Structure 1
């Protein structure tokens, strides 16, 4: 069953541009991963430090392989707090 994932990020003070750059850099390699159907970055127009990545995967194991990758370490130092992740499936 396809899986939609919404990952929310809050940049630490002064880290907005760096976080956005890192998240943008992850789009192309993520889309190229097996099982990735879509991967889009959104930025809150009222709070540029708030960002969300909306991902669509063919199945949860495909997403979990992606989530285990090194990208999390790339953004960890740029965040004000933990990433929140929401998993959605069609009803």
Structure 2
């Protein structure tokens, strides 16, 4: 079963560009990770400090392996420095019709 993760980030004042850079730096390693189906950061055009990342993974195991990797851990270190508040992440699975 597929898994979608939607993560919301809010940069501290003056750290908007660094947030964008950190999230964009994860595009290539995420897409190359086994089990990654999609990874895309989005910026709020009306509020540059706010970004959302939408990821799609084959399963929880693929996501867990990605999060154990060096690129993800490095991004977490950067986010600890640049965020105004902790990220909000939601895990979503496909809705089953008739269930």
Q: TM-score, normalised by structure 2?
A: 0.87
Q: Determine the C-alpha separation between the residues in 2 that align with 1:6 and 1:68.
A: 18
Q: Determine the C-alpha separation between the residues in 2 that align with 1:58 and 1:33.
A: 11
What SS does the aligned partner of 2:46 have?
coil
> For 1:1-91, what aligned pairs fall within 5 Å after superposition?
1-69=1-69, 70=73, 71-91=75-95
Query: What residue ranges of structure 2 are gaps of 5+ in the alignment?
Result: none
Query: What residue ranges of structure 1 are gaps of 5+ in the alignment?
Result: none
Greater helix fraction, Structure 1 or Structure 2: 2
How many pairs align?
91
CA radius of gyration, larger in: 2
Q: Show CA shifts across 1:42-88 (max 9, x none).
A: 00111010001100000011112223341211221010010110001
Q: TM-score, normalised by structure 1?
A: 0.94
